[in-house]
Amino acid sequence: MKQFLVRSIFLCALGAPLMAIYLTINHRTGIEHRVVGMPDWVPFWPVMTVPYLLMLILPWLGAYALGDQRNFYQYLVSVLLTFLVIGSIWYFFPTEMIRPMTPEGSLYRAHRDLIAIDNPVCIAPCGHVMGPITIICLLAREKRTRLYWMLPLLGLGILSIATTWQHRPLDILTGSFITLISVALTRKIFKQCSQG
């Protein structure tokens, strides 16, 4: 119970400021954004908003499943480092993508609610992969067989990012690359600290 409370405090202490910073960057006014376009071959499936939203929540829940407390702290540091890099790019090199109109009907309500909060900016690179990729790397380090179900979930999440037109495939690749570098770098730092 104590570990659950400690992790909850740390997750809230990290998550709340990062969300506030993101929304501040996302809602800046008077900023000239470079307009980017989605490739023609990417479909627009706003019904994929539900798996997209789940992909944002599940990594935080996955942090409770980490058996090693050092891996939990590495998760926090990796996400913070990745956000600092990606958030700086959003701030200094703002991008925007025009999305198609959301179809009418209750099936698309989640997408309408999402775009009412999340402006079509902060496109490059994709920040939505930072939590999922980081938690997958750390959970798989503890038990490699978890990859059998985590990788398909990640694939569905990545598909949902692209098909809800949140980010282009190139942005997803760039965000994934930044995240993997952050995980490798923090792993090296944590390993050196535990040895020294």
Find the mean pLDDT for residues 179-192.
Answer: 95
What integer pLDDT is reported at residue 2 of this predicted model? 87
Amino acid identity for residue 95 in this structure: T
Spatial separation of the C-alpha atoms in residues 183 and 129, rounded to whole Å:
12
Per residue in 70-99, pLDDT (tens digit) is 999 999 999 999 999 999 999 999 999 999
Q: What pairs with residue 95 in β-bridges?
A: 34
> Of the candidates 112, 98, 122, which has an alpha carbon nearest to the alpha carbon of residue 47?
112
**Whether pLDDT at 139 is above 70:** yes
Spatial separation of the C-alpha atoms in residues 44 and 40, rounded to whole Å:
10
Find the mean pLDDT for residues 138-162.
Answer: 96
Per residue in 151-174, pLDDT (tens digit) is 999 999 999 999 999 999 999 999
Average pLDDT, the chain: 95
Which residue spans within the chain are E strands per DSSP? 34-36, 95-97
What's the distance, Cα to Cα, between the start and end of the chain in Å? Answer: 31
This prediction has a pTM of 0.95
CA–CA distances in Å: residue 85 to residues 79, 88, 166: 10, 5, 19
Per residue in 38-51, pLDDT (tens digit) is 999 999 999 999 99
Share of the chain above pLDDT 70, in %: 99
In 3-state terms the chain splits into helix, strand, coil percentages (rounded to 5) of 70, 5, 25
Give 122 or 2, the one with higher predicted confidence.
122
Q: Which helix (H) or strand (E) holds 47?
A: none
Spatial separation of the C-alpha atoms in residues 46 and 165, rounded to whole Å:
8
Tokens of 183: 């995980």
What integer pLDDT is reported at residue 193 of this predicted model? 85
**Whether pLDDT at 194 is above 80:** no
Find the mean pLDDT for residues 58-69.
Answer: 95
Per residue in 8-29, pLDDT (tens digit) is 999 999 999 999 999 999 999 9
What integer pLDDT is reported at residue 55 of this predicted model? 92
**Whether pLDDT at 196 is above 70:** no
Q: How many helices (H) and strands (E) does the chain have?
A: 7, 2
Domain boundary assignment for the chain: 2-195
Spatial separation of the C-alpha atoms in residues 108 and 104, rounded to whole Å:
7
Give the DSSP letter string of 111-142.
HHHHHHHS-SB--SS--TTHHHHHHHHHHHHH
Q: Is the peptide bond before 125 cis (omega within 30 degrees of 0)?
A: yes
Find the mean pLDDT for residues 121-145.
Answer: 97
Using 50, 70 and 90 to split pLDDT, how confident is the model at 31? very high
